[in-house]
Amino acid sequence: MMVALAIASILLVTVLGRPDKPRESLFLFTLDQTVTWPTTILAVYSGILESPVRLFPKATDSNFLLSFIFFPTAFVVYYWHYPRSRNHFAQIAYTLAFTGAIILVHVAVQKYTDLLLSITFSGYKAVPFFIISYFLKRIYADWYFSQLAKLRSDQQ
């Protein structure tokens, strides 16, 4: 399953990413890492989640590929394909569908592999967290890119 997550991450970013905006994509990737990585570490150390099989067992007790690679890659794809020019219903539907797909991956990893073991937590309880965090990260990234555009236009 680790190999499948790595391949899925590579495919997501190469097929659905924006090759014309690598720096912006890297910013989005890092932005998501700053949220998912500490959140996952807190969940593991508080006993909510457990990762019996880990890529770096001596470095961390949490799942590296899922939290540090797959989820951030998914956020990059989410951000670049977000329907900004559509109505609010389409935007909400897109966010619900996308976060729902991510939750299904999370639940499948919990249920069918040893990569993630839920102690007092199910993937379905993560739905509000993913929806709120995707919304806030998208708002922040929009603000950041608008500020960056202003700086670039002022310099020219």
Q: What is the pLDDT along the chain (156 residues), one digit of tens a residue?
A: 667 777 888 888 888 888 899 999 999 999 999 998 888 888 888 888 777 776 776 667 677 788 888 899 999 999 999 999 999 999 999 999 999 999 888 888 888 887 776 666 666 777 888 899 999 999 999 999 999 999 988 887
Q: pTM of the full predicted structure?
A: 0.87
What does the angle CA 133 – CA 135 – CA 139 come to, to the nearest 5 degrees? 115
Residues 6+ apart with CB under 8 A from 17: 25, 76, 77, 80
Q: What pLDDT sits at residue 81? A: 95
Q: What residues does each domain of the chain span?
A: 30-148
Partners of 49 in the β-ladder: 118
